[in-house]
Amino acid sequence: MDRDGRVDLIVSGIDIGGGDGGIFVLPGQGDGSFGSPRRWSHVSTHIFDPPPLRFADLDRDGAVELITGDIRGSLLWVPDGGLAPRVLLEDVDAYEIADLDRDGRPELLAAAPAPYSPASTRLHLGRSRSDGSFGFEHHDLNVAGVRQIHVANVDGDGELDIVLVDGRGATILRRAR
């Protein structure tokens, strides 16, 4: 997180030192131990079931940004340093970052209930623009209650596939060549 070449530990959704919850960095000391926690962001997450933390250089400025959820179900983009989080999407149930087309620029995948049917999911595919904004494509799918998104080469064809996990199993979205 601090670009010193040592692994840092990131924690969220806990109350450190009696203050508010948020996202904290424990800097790596280079010997397998970690320093005292410092607040990286005041983003409020669920304390008992914190959302995933996903890190990537989404705006291609050389610094790592954070994608996470807040207690209201908003998908947040938290820039380097943890200041001024931006809401990207609302009512998001699951999200992941992956370089689907392998162009060196990661895409953001997010699943949310489709606006017209609770039995469907809207999959948002976001690409960052050079000005720091996101452009999203939307795909409505006949899958309900997506809880997790994974990306892997499931069928061995060399392309990354999208796996949507719900309460009944998984749906695989294969990329065509």
Tens digit of pLDDT for each residue in 111-135? Answer: 999 988 878 999 999 988 777 678 8
Q: What is the reported pTM?
A: 0.84
Residue-wise pLDDT for 2-61, tens only, equals 778 899 988 876 555 656 677 888 999 999 999 998 888 777 666 666 788 898 888 878
On whether the CB atoms of residues 41 and 16 are closer than 8 A, the answer is no
pLDDT number for residue 126: 92
- The tally of CA atoms less than 13 A away on the side-chain side of residue 153 is 8
Contact at 8 Å (CB) between 176 and 161?
A: no
Q: Work out the mean pLDDT of the chain and round it to a whole number.
A: 85
d(CA 147, CA 50): 13
Specify the amino acid at residue 15. Answer: D
Q: Pick from 106, 35, 97: which is nearest to 68 by CA? A: 97
Q: At residue 102, does pLDDT exceed 80?
A: yes
Q: Residue 65: what pLDDT? A: 85
* Phi–psi pair at 112, nearest 5 degrees: -145, 160
**Burial of residue 57 (number of CB atoms within 10 Å: 0-12, 13-18, 19+):** middle
Give, as one character, the DSSP assignment of residue 175. Answer: P
